[in-house]
A and B are shown apart, each in its own frame.
Chain A
């Protein structure tokens, strides 16, 4: 296991019609690393997350999770193997309680769900594990709220709690800070800082301050290609990156 990356991507590509959205992407992410993927709008970041999570089928390339080829596996199977994602646009069960949103993720990996009579919402073991995940994202006091009634920032925290509750060791976080206020975003950055200790993370994010504070390595995606990959310092100093991306940020 020593030298084997947690996630290894080789030559991954996806086209929609004539448009190559991701183009021959290769990344290796060692266990415990937080690997940020940045790039301007339309660079293909979310498509890459879709491909890695299994929501979208790739045209070419391979994805290996702990050495095992998962390229052909569907999203639910990848989750069961320990690769979970969060969504850029919040995707939760609005009509369910916060607790049940998380408990369902626990249920998915805790025995059969072809059980027809006992009341699922009263299963103490599921709820206890769900509460642990909620504790990690500081949502304990919201557990019995209806998910739709959470604030935007809380919904982003819930997204992460659900991903944690799947038991996955590798998290794909798709713009967890999208649309959050300054305080909300600070709380989420602190949360991700904590998660780094226990999880391998691939983070897609627009917030450069957060990225450079959190990332062990950064890959820069422009028009579906990785134009630079390295430590935050290396990437920051890369002339191609400055020209393609950071330049405009700094000018702004």
Chain B
């Protein structure tokens, strides 16, 4: 067949339309451009920080990027797999506790800590995912919530490692014996690098054969079964990948705050991650990063203005959900649509 459609540069193939549930409404190139601008701006942030002499800016930005990484991880299952996991904070906690617990036993190398974090989180995701994915819809939400809370209460009752009080890290992780991470600036760039790497890796995954099966299942599971796919193993794999990446965010979180407590794992934290993904734009990859930035900055500013800032934040979130279909990423796309759309 000569018309072999190999002209797949045509990215009409990518879901550039607004489908019913508002998933993935940003075109591939648009997302890449937006992300590249965002990453470049972040990379230059330390310059701004030194110009205005505000070192705390770097600390805040690092914290935001850590949550952006976790939100990115959640988006793989939530935005691309339509699996609403309400227990993703558990993975964040597993990552953070891997650092704190190993560190308390004298294992301070970040590579070892990360390997343990990824391994533990993958195992936890494999077991809880295998069970949770037997259900769907609201039941999936409830069961992931339950597993998340189990992890939370487990750490509360584990008094050997601080229990309810949490654990303080006496120093940050080392890298092959060096203590470079003690510098906030180095940690900032390490987290930024991880975020950029995760973004482009997930971008490839989402467009791959595997990602296409995942997206197809999100849109119409019956159709996927009717062409010969059994979605379960694909969904479970995505869940494990997502859990592992969230645990990586946890490793950085522990290093950033130098303190770990069960509060990282409770359901409010899981809810915040969902909010970041949804207000940012689920199924877009650049959305969750924007969502994390927006939510945490709004929190930061509002908290300075008024002690009951959560009330205002709640109203803001409601408005975002009501008036920006597809979240921040969707709104941005509509804003730029005139110039670039349909090219």
Binding site for B on A (CB under 8 A): 53, 55, 74-76, 79-80, 84-85, 87, 91-97, 99-100, 104-105, 107-109, 112-124, 127-128, 130-132, 135, 140, 143-146, 148-149, 162, 165-166
CB distance from A170 to the nearest CB of B (A): 14
Cross-chain contact A94 with B219 (CB below 8 angstroms) = yes
Q: How far is the CA of A76 from the CA of B227 in the complex (A)?
A: 7
Residues 2-16 of B at the A interface (beta carbon under 8 Å): 3-6, 8, 10, 12-16
Cross-chain contact B15 with A96 (CB below 8 angstroms) = yes
Contact partners of B222 in chain A: CB under 8 A? 55, 91
- Judge whether B19 is part of the interface by a CB distance below 8 angstroms: yes
- Judge whether B230 is part of the interface by a CB distance below 8 angstroms: yes
Contact partners of A100 in chain B: CB under 8 A? 13, 212
User: Mind listing 27 A-B residue pairs with CB under 8 Å?
Assistant: A75-B225, A76-B225, A91-B223, A92-B220, A94-B220, A95-B15, A95-B23, A99-B5, A99-B13, A105-B228, A109-B228, A112-B209, A113-B210, A114-B237, A115-B208, A117-B204, A118-B208, A119-B207, A123-B209, A128-B1, A128-B6, A131-B1, A131-B5, A146-B17, A148-B19, A162-B223, A162-B227
Q: How far is the CA of A149 from the CA of B342 in the complex (A)?
A: 14
Q: How far is the CA of A166 from the CA of B224 in the complex (A)?
A: 11
Q: How far is the CA of A242 from the CA of B125 in the complex (A)?
A: 60
Cross-chain contact B230 with A74 (CB below 8 angstroms) = yes
A84 with B226: in contact, given A92-B220, A96-B219, A121-B8 (CB under 8 Å)? yes
Contact partners of A114 in chain B: CB under 8 A? 209-210, 234, 237
Cross-chain contact A124 with B4 (CB below 8 angstroms) = yes
Cross-chain contact B212 with A94 (CB below 8 angstroms) = no
In-complex Cβ contact of B216 among A96, A115, A119 (8 A) = A96
Contact partners of A74 in chain B: CB under 8 A? 225, 230
Residues 101-140 of B at the A interface (beta carbon under 8 Å): none
Contact partners of B8 in chain A: CB under 8 A? 121-122, 127
Q: Which residue of B lies closest to A90 (CB)?
A: B223
Contact partners of B10 in chain A: CB under 8 A? 144
Cross-chain contact B4 with A113 (CB below 8 angstroms) = no
CB distance from B92 to the nearest CB of A (A): 23
A94 with B4: in contact, given A107-B212, A119-B204 (CB under 8 Å)? no
Q: Which residue of B lies closest to A129 (CB)?
A: B1
Contact partners of B210 in chain A: CB under 8 A? 113-116
Contact partners of B220 in chain A: CB under 8 A? 91-94
In-complex Cβ contact of A116 among B12, B208, B225 (8 A) = B208
CB distance from A195 to the nearest CB of B (A): 17
CB distance from B299 to the nearest CB of A (A): 33
Binding site for A on B (CB under 8 A): 1, 3-6, 8, 10, 12-17, 19-20, 23-24, 204-205, 207-213, 215-216, 219-220, 222-230, 234, 237
Contact partners of A143 in chain B: CB under 8 A? 5
Q: How far is the CA of A96 from the CA of B14 in the complex (A)?
A: 7
Q: How far is the CA of A105 from the CA of B1 in the complex (A)?
A: 18
CB distance from B6 to the nearest CB of A (A): 5
Q: How far is the CA of A131 from the CA of B13 in the complex (A)?
A: 14
Interface core residue of A95, A131, A135 (most chain B CB under 10 Å): A95
A116 with B205: in contact, given A96-B13, A144-B10 (CB under 8 Å)? yes
A94 with B227: in contact, given A107-B209, A127-B6, A128-B5 (CB under 8 Å)? no
Q: How far is the CA of A104 from the CA of B225 in the complex (A)?
A: 11
A79 with B219: in contact, given A99-B5, A115-B208, A120-B208 (CB under 8 Å)? no
Cross-chain contact B20 with A121 (CB below 8 angstroms) = no
Contact partners of B219 in chain A: CB under 8 A? 93-96
Cross-chain contact B13 with A97 (CB below 8 angstroms) = yes
Cross-chain contact B12 with A85 (CB below 8 angstroms) = no
CB distance from A95 to the nearest CB of B (A): 4
Contact partners of B228 in chain A: CB under 8 A? 76, 79-80, 105, 108-109, 166
